[in-house]
Amino acid sequence: MQAGQFTHIVVGAGSAGCLVARRVAENRTFNVLLIEAGPDVDASPASASSVPHGVHDARRVPMAGQSAIFDPKIDWKLEVDVTTGGQMIVPQAKVMGGGSSINGGTFLRHTEADSREWVALGNGGWDFDSSLAVYEGLEDDPLQGTRGPHPIARASIDEAGKIQAAFVDGATSCGLQHIQDVKATGAEGVGPAPVCRRGSTRVSAADTFIGPARSFPNLTILTNSLVDRVLFRDGKAVTVVLANCHKIHATHEVILSAGAIFSPAILQRSGIGPAGLLRRHGIALLVDLPVGLNLSDHPCIPLVARPRPSAYTDTDYSLQMQARWSSSLNPGAIDLQMVCFSYLFAQPVDSSASQGGQPQRSLGGTETGHVAGIGCNVNKPTSLGMVEIRSKDANQMPQVRPNYLSTLRDRALAREVVRTAYAVLMSPAMQTVLAAPLGITSQMVADDVMLDGYIQAQYSTTYHFCGSCRMADREKGGVVDQSGRVYGVKGLRVADASVLPTVPAANTMASCMLVGERVGRSVCDGRSVQKLVKSHI
C-alpha cells in the first residue's frame, strides 16, 4: 500500500463499518480501505476453512459465558468496571462483521421516543420518519413486506424449542399480549424475535454488505490489523497509524467505525478528547471534546434455572422469543425487555483468582454450566459512564466504567422488570421445562432491599455500549455533528454505536446499521445527513 493510494479509510468492520465501506466504495471515483482488527469471515469456498468457529451458526452465540465452545481470537476480552468493585469480562467481537457476526442476531428498530431525544440534541435529520425509511430500505422482512438486502426471520411457535414456547405461554399468562411483530413501530408484547438469519445460518453485516463488494476494484480489505491513532496536517486527518507503526494515508477522509469502546480510544490517542485526560498521558491536545463520556449500555439481570430433562436438545436455538413493554415510570417508552434463553454456558472458575476477588459474571450472572431462563433488560437507563485510555499504548485496553444502575430511577426499573420476569419464570408453563430459579426466592423478590442486593450481585450486560462520541450540537455535549463529522478538525468522521445521541430502547445492531447507512451515503454522495422529505420516503 503506497502513500496516496486511498481516498478513504474506514477503521472497523462491524455492523456500521461494513455499511460505511460498502456505500463509500459505491462511488467508483473513490478508493476505499477497510481495516479490521480481527480475522475475516469470508465464506467463499476458497476461504471457508479459515472462518472462526460458530460465526455462521445462528443457534448459539459463540462467545465466552454463552457457549461451551468458542474461538478466543475473535474476542477482545474487555474488562469492565463493576460499580460495587472489581471487574467483569465482557465479550466484544473482534472479527469482520463485529457484533453481527457473533450475537443473537436480534434486529430491532429504535423507537419514536428515541428519535425525539436525538432531534432535541440538534440532529434534525434523524427524525423517526427519516430513520424508518432507511430501516425499510435495509430490511428483507416478509412480515412487513420490505425487500431490502438484509434478511429478517422469525421462529413460529411450532418451530420454537420447548423452553421458548413455554416463555410465551408464561408471559401471556402474566398479562403480556402475544404479538407476531415486536419490531413494529410502538409494538408492546411478547413474540418471536426478528433475527438476521437464513435458515440456521447467521447473516452478518459483512455477509450482506461486504460479501458482494469483495470484487469491487476500489475496495481493499485489511484484516488482523489494530489501529493506533490518526495523524493530522493543518487540522485535517491524513494518516492512519497501525499498532505496528505502519502508516496508511487517506486523501479525503478517515471514518472511525471501531465501536463505542475503541473509537473514543483512537480519538483520545489522536489528541481529540478531554484536555485533562490527554495531559495526563502526555498527548498533545488537538481538540478538547467530551470523547468517552456519556457511555451507556443496557444492563441485564439474569434469572436462571436448570432445564428439566428433555426440555432442551442440542438442535434448539438459544434465543427465539422476547418481550418488550413500557414501565410504569415511562409509559410509551418501551423501556423494559425480557429475552428468553434456552442455552447459556459459563465455564466454572476459581473465584479467588477473579478480578477484585469477585466471582466472575456472565450473561447468566455468577452461575456456571448450562442454564436457561430470562434476561431482564433496562432499555432506557439514565446511568452514564465513560471510556478512557490508560496510556498511549494501543495494545492496552481502555478503562471502561459504565456505572450500571447508579441512579434511583434505573434501580426502580430493574426491580420492575425482574419482578415481571420472576412471575413468568414461576408460571406453570415455564415450571414444566425449568427447575426452580437459582439464587432467588419469592421472599427476595417481594422485598426491595433484598431484591436490590440480588440485582447488584448478578447484573451483567447486553453488550450494547453506545453514546461515547455523542452526535449532538457541540454546545450540547456533542463530539460529532449529525453527519458524523468530528468537531474542530477536517476529514474525520465517526460512524458506529458511539455516536448514538442517547441509548435506544432496543438492541443496538439495527441502530448501528442505520448510522452506517446514513453516514456512508453522506460520504458517498458528498451531502450532509438531513431530514428525508416525503417524496424521498
Q: Which residues are annotated as a binding site for substrate?
A: 340
Record the cell numbers describing residue 344, joined without a space: 447459556
- Provide the grid cell at 317: 436455538
293 bridge partner residues: none
Rounded to whole angstroms, how far apart are CA atoms 201 and 482?
Answer: 34
In the chain, the N- to C-terminal Cα span, in Å, equals 40
Q: Which three cell numbers stand for residue 175?
A: 398479562
User: Where is 352: in which H helix or E strand?
Assistant: none
**Residue 287, CB-side half-sphere exposure with 13 Å CA sphere:** 22
What amino acid is encoded at 189 in this protein? G
Residue with cell 408453563: 429
Query: Is residue 464 classed as helix, strand or coil in its secondary structure?
Result: coil
As a whole number of angstroms, the distance between CA 22 and CA 96 comes to 13
Helix axes 448-458, 408-425, angle to 10 degrees: 90
Closest CA to 96 of 29, 21, 172: 21
Query: Would you list which residues are annotated within the binding site?
Result: 95, 227, 340
CB 86 within 8 A of CB 358: yes
How far is Cα 62 from Cα 51, in angstroms, rounded to an integer? 13
Q: What are φ and ψ of residue 189, in 5° steps?
A: 150, -165
Count the neighbouring beta carbons within 10 Å of the beta carbon of residue 141: 21
In sequence order, which ranges of 362-446 are alpha helices (DSSP H)? Answer: 408-425, 428-431, 442-446
CB of 21 within 8 A of CB of 32? yes
Give the residue among 11, 146, 137 at the shortest CA–CA distance from 517. Answer: 137
Residue 107 CA to residue 93 CA, distance in Å, equals 17
Known binding positions for FAD: 95, 227
d(CA 124, CA 117): 10
What span, in angstroms and rounded, lies between the C-alpha atoms of 417 and 508?
A: 19
Question: Where are any strands of DSSP class E within 243-378?
Answer: 247-256, 272-273, 287-288, 299-305, 319-325, 336-346, 369-378
Q: Give the separation between CA 345 and CA 368, rounded to whole angstroms.
A: 6
